[in-house]
Amino acid sequence: MRIVIAEDSVLLLDGLTRLLQAEGHDVTGHRTALEMVAALTTAGATLPELLVTDVRMPPSHTDEGLRAAVHLRSLHPELPVLVLSQYVEQRYAAELFARGTRGLGYVLKDRVADVDEFLDAVARVAGGGTVLDPEVVSQVLARSRHDLADLTPREREVLALMAEGRSNAAIADRLVVGPAAVEKHVTNILTKLGLPPDADAHRRVLAVLRWLDLNGDLR
């Protein structure tokens, strides 16, 4: 499998590269997010089968790696991305999952128990699965603490379809209802989950993550 790693720590980059190469993978490493993006967006560039990236990278060491991942997923929604970091960046973490959860992961370095756990996350995300550390879920869902029990059966059905990455139009087709009905259900879901309108919050993503957490689909 072709894997690209974006990690500014020389020791960690070398360790991850050696580990994955020992498993038979073809690994390319980059020390900056800009370098990674340039390598994957130049004409004729071949997309990897998995991108592993840190969150905080040069030059500002804030959120360059995660923002780069969001940008690359917007260009290539099929690109599997595994975020491996010491930090949870709430805003861009939510944005990363905004267009669906397939082939996405976010795990914390100090909570990966062993090598096998990391390799399992690599395989799951590359295979189209979703891997999210519970601490990531907890922080991203900080504004969404309401129980899903208040949702009606139809609202839960709509939320489940949202978790599959379906648009309102696709949900309407699936349920054989009008777009206005779906819009009303989505509004009710967000209201009941305590997610009022907020320009800085991805309400739909937070609702979906809450659903996945409840149903055990995040690991």
> What integer pLDDT is reported at residue 144 of this predicted model?
47
Enter the CATH code of domain 148-214: 1.10.10.10
How far is the CA of 88 from the CAs of 29, 106, 107, 137, 205, in angstroms? 22, 9, 9, 9, 16
Over 80: is that where the pLDDT of 68 sits?
A: yes
The pLDDT assigned to 8 comes to 93
pLDDT confidence of residue 59 = 84
The CATH fold assigned to 2-140 is Rossmann fold (3.40.50)
Q: pLDDT band at residue 146, thresholds of 50, 70 and 90?
A: very low
Backbone region of residue 176 per phi and psi (left: phi > 0; alpha: psi in -120 to 50; beta: other values): left
Chain segment 100-119, per-residue pLDDT in tens: 778 999 999 988 878 999 99
Decide whether 2-140 matches 148-214 in CATH topology. no
Paired tokens of 213: 């957490």
Q: What is the 3-state secondary structure (H, E, C) of the chain?
A: CEEEEECCCHHHHHHHHHHHHHCCCEEEEECCHHHHHHHHHCCCCCCCCEEEECCCCCCCCCCHHHHHHHHHHHHCCCCCEEEEECCCCHHHHHHHCCCCCCCEEEEEHHHCCCHHHHHHHHHHHHCCCEEECHHHHHHHCCCCCCCHHHCCHHHHHHHHHHHCCCCHHHHHHHHCCCHHHHHHHHHHHHHHCCCCCCCCCCHHHHHHHHHHHHCCCCC
Q: How does pLDDT run across 150-202, given as a tens digit for each residue?
A: 888 899 888 888 877 788 999 999 899 999 999 999 988 888 877 666 544 46
**C-alpha closest to that of 104 among 75, 134, 130:** 130
pLDDT digits (tens, 9 = 90+) for 199-215: 444 677 777 777 766 66
Q: What is the mean pLDDT of the chain?
A: 85
Question: Which sequence spans correspond to the domains of the chain?
Answer: 2-140, 148-214
Torsion angle of the four alpha carbons 84, 80, 61, 35, in this order, in degrees rounded to the nearest 10: 130
Confidence at residue 198, expressed as pLDDT on a 0 to 100 scale:
55
Res 196: pLDDT: 60
